[in-house]
Structure 1
Amino acid sequence: MIETTQIEKTSWGTNQGKEVFLYTLTNALGSQLQVATYGGILVSFKTADKAGNFGEVLLGKDNLEDYLDNTCYLGVIAGRFANRIAKGKVTIDGTDYTLATNNGENFLHGGAKGFDQKVWDVVEEKSENGTTSLVLSYVSADGEENLPGTMTTQVKYSLTDDNEIVLEYTATTDKKTVINLTSHPYFNLKGEGDIADVDLKLNCEFFTPIDETCIPTGEIISVKGTPFDFTETKKIGLEIDADYEQNRIGVGYDHNLVINKPYGEFGFVGEAYDATTGRAMSVYTTEPGIQFYTGNWLEGEKGRNQTALIKREGFCLEAQHYPDTPNQPHFPSAELNPGETYTQKTVYKFFVK
């Protein structure tokens, strides 16, 4: 145990004419979280295993220059609208908006230059009462990525002495718009290698199947009798390559699952566990859905030391609204009006067992 929580700031280069900083947050257990002001990236999280040895549990890169080529969105804040929108088409109050199609024929994770490629401003940094926090802000101009409204977003990153990474988002707009914010960390509880042997349990009884372009069909179906049933703990890799159309389309898992809790309520999403290291992680959120992605397209992406990552070297549990929500009126709404404040809270809690 260290005596106090700490926060340190390091210059990490410049981008878009602004200095970029890397912040290191340390808790009383000795765990360390690194956050970059470029893209709001979760760069690193080192925490203890069952033997007390500290190791990396996030996929990441070494420096700012490497993150300028981040095709798999390692650790970024995805916005204004995370995940996919069909054919880049959105209609808001009768006005049609055409967005970038940067994922085949669809819009993905904010478009051509989303929040993942912006330099965020530092609003606050502090360490007190067992929690170390950093608040970043970004003002997205009216019409940025062709979406309406000047949108002001803040993300608060906290590392607690209970070994929790807490992400709290707020946003306001001066015109009606759509919003879906999430963080995109890739977890590997043993540090490297395939994640097939990770045990996973999800509090999700339904999921939203996708078409051949990875857009939700609009259906919301039961996970029972499908490879998507993680209501009881099983290995991620057990049915990942099952002879099931949804696994074929996603090349594994790359789907939104419906969290079994009242809409807007903060609640339990699931738990992952690696028996080799004893590390476990539980997830909680206010969001209605969780995008479960098994790194099916990681192969060739450069990680630390310019080492090529392998397919399925990390898994993502991205708390968010459902993909393509603006075009699916029966999905929970992702609209934001002037005078309203968008809020989102997600917690990743780490422990050993």
Structure 2
Amino acid sequence: MKVIRESFGQIDHQTVTKFTLINDHGVEVTAINYGCIITKIVTPDKNGHYENIVLGHDSLNDYVQDPYFLGAVVGRVGGRIRGGSFELDGETYTLAKNNGHNHLHGGNMGFNKVVWDAEVVEDGVRFSYLSPDGEEGYPGNLHIQVTYTLDNHNELKIQYEAQTDKKTLLTATNHSYFNLSGDLKRDILAHTLKIKSDRFLELDHEFIPTGDFVEVKDTPFDFRSESIIEAGTSSAHPQNVLVGDGYDHPFLLNTNHDHEIVLKDPESGRILTIETDEAGVVVYSGNSLESEGDFLGVPSRKYLGICLETQALPDAIHHSHFPSTILDKEQRYSSVTIYKFGIEKK
């Protein structure tokens, strides 16, 4: 197991560094300390060919200009907050409205648009950031660490830890777009997905949860058995059509750290198993990827990648029956998500 450290450029007189984690089997995970962005993940297919399985860019400037939160840690709050404001202990906090009338993924300068401190640790890299009181409208000085480690079981662990000196909101997640075909040879429509979830959240016309949980049974949202992504993108179900023909929906997980999310590409044989201690996962099938620009030389297009964002449920602050995203003063925030890279046995 080794970690290679290289320069990736500069922004505002701050050096951005690229860290490549390589295990004994040749699996690689590359991340930069700008936004904790995962720029590349290299894994073998069923024929032993090692290829990249996430959307990414070659240059820092492309990430600075990127509108898709590509590969980044997002926060303080992943997902949307209705109306760009919330109330805590009788005080109203106003956030950036960077998604129509609403707040999305931490705002204009969220975790994804800042340079983090970084240090090499055993089998990985730890990123640290102090989000000052009032940044993007959130209360409290928030100290947060995100640690990426890779082991010889081909497992990437992302651990989030944080503390605040004033009550605030927090649910961070990684926003990588996965494509298991290898080097983006195909889109993700033929990928299959399995999720241990009986219910998903209904969205309104602004993609904000209405608060209603919908049973997945007899809908294109039933991933309790392995199902093809394309079924939802061609579905006439109002919730699929609403988000641009596909998925951009939170699912409530039935279980944790129990093979609860499994993505497969039958052609390459690659399998991604995701386990988390979070309450839910937002499945986003890349419906809004524009046909402009490119990712590592491959033209951008709809459905080129799929995000599986493990997190608390979006807009939880406005729904008392959702698991809370409130972080109290001096309370320890801790969350772990593990990504297991495998190959389907012949």
Relative to the length of structure 1, the TM-score reads: 0.94
* Match of residue 139 from structure 1: 130
Kept in 2: contact 1:227–1:240 (CA 8 A): no
* Match of residue 212 from structure 1: 205
* CA deviation map 1:18-58 (0-9, x unaligned): 11100011001101110000010010001111111100100
Separation in structure 2 between the aligned mates of residue 320 and residue 215 of structure 1, nearest angstrom: 15
Task: Give the AA of the match of 1:334.
Answer: T
Match of 1:61 among 35, 57, 62: 57
Kept in 2: contact 1:41–1:75 (CA 8 A): yes
Can you give the 5+ residue segments of structure 2 that lack an aligned partner in the other structure?
A: none
* Counterpart secondary structure, 1:155: strand
Q: CA deviation at 1:303?
A: 3.4
* Match of residue 12 from structure 1: 8
* Counterpart secondary structure, 2:288: coil
Give the percent of matched residue pairs that are identical in Structure 1 and Structure 2: 38
Q: Which moved more, 1:63-72 or 1:288-297?
A: 63-72
Q: CA deviation at 1:17?
A: 2.3
* CA deviation map 1:287-342 (0-9, x unaligned): 00100000001123533345431100001110001111111111000000112111
2:276 maps to 1:246: no
Match of 2:219 among 188, 209, 226: 226
Task: Give the AA of the match of 2:143.
Answer: T
Separation in structure 2 between the aligned mates of residue 65 and residue 33 of structure 1, nearest angstrom: 20
* Match of residue 252 from structure 2: 258
Separation in structure 2 between the aligned mates of residue 147 and residue 205 of structure 1, nearest angstrom: 33
Kept in 2: contact 1:278–1:352 (CA 8 A): yes
Separation in structure 1 between the aligned mates of residue 168 and residue 308 of structure 2, nearest angstrom: 25
Match of 2:190 among 197, 200, 210: 197
Task: Give the AA of the match of 1:286.
Answer: D
Matches within 5 A, 1:1-353: 5-122=1-118, 124-127=119-122, 132-191=123-182, 192=184, 193-251=186-244, 252-261=246-255, 266-300=257-291, 302-305=293-296, 307-353=298-344
* CA deviation map 1:212-246 (0-9, x unaligned): 00000001121011110010111111232211110
* Counterpart secondary structure, 2:260: strand
Q: Which aligned runs of 4 or more in structure 1 are off by greater than 4 angstroms?
A: none
Cα 1:294/1:134, change in 2 over 3 Å: same
Separation in structure 2 between the aligned mates of residue 306 and residue 109 of structure 1, nearest angstrom: 27
Kept in 1: contact 2:232–2:247 (CA 8 A): no
Separation in structure 2 between the aligned mates of residue 253 and residue 332 of structure 1, nearest angstrom: 22
Task: Give the AA of the match of 1:201.
Answer: K
Kept in 2: contact 1:299–1:308 (CA 8 A): no
Separation in structure 2 between the aligned mates of residue 316 and residue 138 of structure 1, nearest angstrom: 24
Cα 1:301/1:60, change in 2 over 3 Å: farther
What number of residue pairs does the alignment pair up? 341
Q: CA deviation at 1:126?
A: 3.2
Separation in structure 1 between the aligned mates of residue 227 and residue 31 of structure 2, nearest angstrom: 31
Can you give the 5+ residue segments of structure 1 that lack an aligned partner in the other structure?
A: none
